[in-house]
Amino acid sequence: VQLQASGGGMAQPGGSLRLFCGASGRTYNAFNIAWWRQVPGKEREFVASINWRGNDASYGDSVKRRFIISKDMSTDAATLQMNSLKSEDTAVYFCAAGRGPFGTDRYRSSYYEYWGQGTQVTVSS
């Protein structure tokens, strides 16, 4: 499975962006999907995850009530709608896919088998 993240760019504080995660090489509709982000010098941070059925979403504390993760079961694409953006949301965002029980492991980067290449999100006035 090759993951491709796209949709990053620049936004002003309070604005919105939508990120997309597509897959090629093999259908990944049985995979659980997550978005992570990273800034230089810091550890990768969990942003959001959604299970393979698309009915169980989780969010990191810093993005709750601002970001929405969803999964299109017909296209296998996952999206991350980012609203009310803040400067601290500036980072490289990665989508990741993993299989298996999706309990607290969803918050661990080691759970995910496949990673996209990352897309830059910059929030600045």
Q: What would the pLDDT profile of 9-50 be if each residue is shown by its tens digit? A: 999 999 999 999 988 766 656 789 999 999 999 999 999 999
Can you point out the beta strands (E) in 1-125? 2-6, 9-11, 17-24, 32-38, 45-50, 57-59, 67-72, 77-82, 91-98, 114-115, 119-123
Would you state the pLDDT for residue 80?
98
Q: What is residue 74's predicted lDDT score, i.e. its pLDDT? A: 78
Strand partners, 70: 79
For the cut 80, the answer to whether the pLDDT of residue 79 exceeds it is yes
Task: Please give the pLDDT value at position 52.
Answer: 87
